[in-house]
Each structure stands twice: as structure tokens, then as C-alpha cells.
Structure 1
Amino acid sequence: MDTPERQAEPGSLLLLDGLFLHRPELRDVWDDSVFLHVDFEVSVPRGASRGPGWGSPDPLAGSNRRYVEGHRLYFRESEPGKYAGVIVDNNDLEAPFFAPGPSVA
């Protein structure tokens, strides 16, 4: 489905969700940002619970290597917790909380 391009009115708020959005080449595009932190021991089984084709619930499984190592590379090179305006620990979906960090102190 192609959606026609539209322009926001002045004063509008754009919310964008996506992976790897704290990369250095994108940091200056955002006025503010939220980084949702979830440990691999939680995120991998959470993703696998979506059903067949979503991989193993084991973060160390070979089928999850690309996901885990790609994120580790991103965390190391982009330091999203250092650049986010707000860090939310989302390990417990029923009780997310603001995580300590330099951006929220």
C-alpha cells in the first residue's frame, strides 16, 4: 500500500518508533528521544513467543546471533542510553520504569 506524502502542520508532534534510531547520523534529527531498554534474556523469549518463525527463546541460540550481536554492536557504537532524553526499563511489561542514567538524572 502506497501512502501519499503529507506535510505536518507547524507545531505538530511526530512520534517515530524504530530500531537503531540513536545512531550518530540520526541523533541531530530528533528534538528528543526515548530509549526502551530490555535485556536479551527478556526480549528474545518475548519475540519468540510471537509464534513460529520468530526464532528460539534462547538468546544464545544460533538463530538469534544476528539479532543479539547486531544490537550489541549498536549499543557499543551508538550508546543509546547516553543520548536518549528518557530511558525506560521495559523488562516487565506490567511495570516499566524510568531507568537511571545520565540522560534522566
Structure 2
Amino acid sequence: MPDRAALEGILYVLKTGIGWQHLPHQLGYGSGMTCWRRLRDWHAAGVFTRLHHVLLDRMAQAHQLDWTRACVDSTSVPAARGGPKRARTPRIVAGLAASVM
């Protein structure tokens, strides 16, 4: 399966939200499992991270990035020094609930 066809199949599944197993063979993207495996392999190889950096670089060179609307949250940037540690939540199990049957 050519890379271009696999990429188009991946984008089709991600855009439409269909399951991988429901990717229509008539579209010429190959099987959904082939596209899924290619996505997994490309992700593991860092292809999408490199692609993201290339796109950001090109957009910056074309002055198409507006950083005044950028947002960073803790899911993408870890807290400085790891942040405070939380205490463990104590269990509050007094006993089993009575059966309703």
C-alpha cells in the first residue's frame, strides 16, 4: 500500500469518525487495519511530531502564526518542580451495601 493512500485512509477515518474496520475498500485506501498499523508505526517513529514542527516552521516563515492567541496547559507542559504532592484519599468503605433483590 503506498504511503499516500494509507495517509488518505487515516485522514478519512479520523475526519468521519468511522471505525477502522468500516473503511470502504472502494475508496482505494486499503484495509482499515493496514491504515491503523501505518498510523501506529508512523506515530512510534515520530513522523507526526516532525511534520508538526515542519508546518510550524513554514507558517512562522510566512508570518502566519499568531502567538497572541496561544494557550498552554498542564497536559502539554509539566509543572515547574513537579508541583505539590497530594495526600492519599482514604477509603470510606464501612461495609457492603444490602442486596436489592
Shorter-chain TM-score range: under 0.3
More strand by share: 1
Taking structure 1 as the reference length, the TM-score comes to: 0.25
Taking structure 2 as the reference length, the TM-score comes to: 0.26
Q: Which has the higher contact order (CA 8 A, sep 6+)?
A: 1
More helix by share: 2
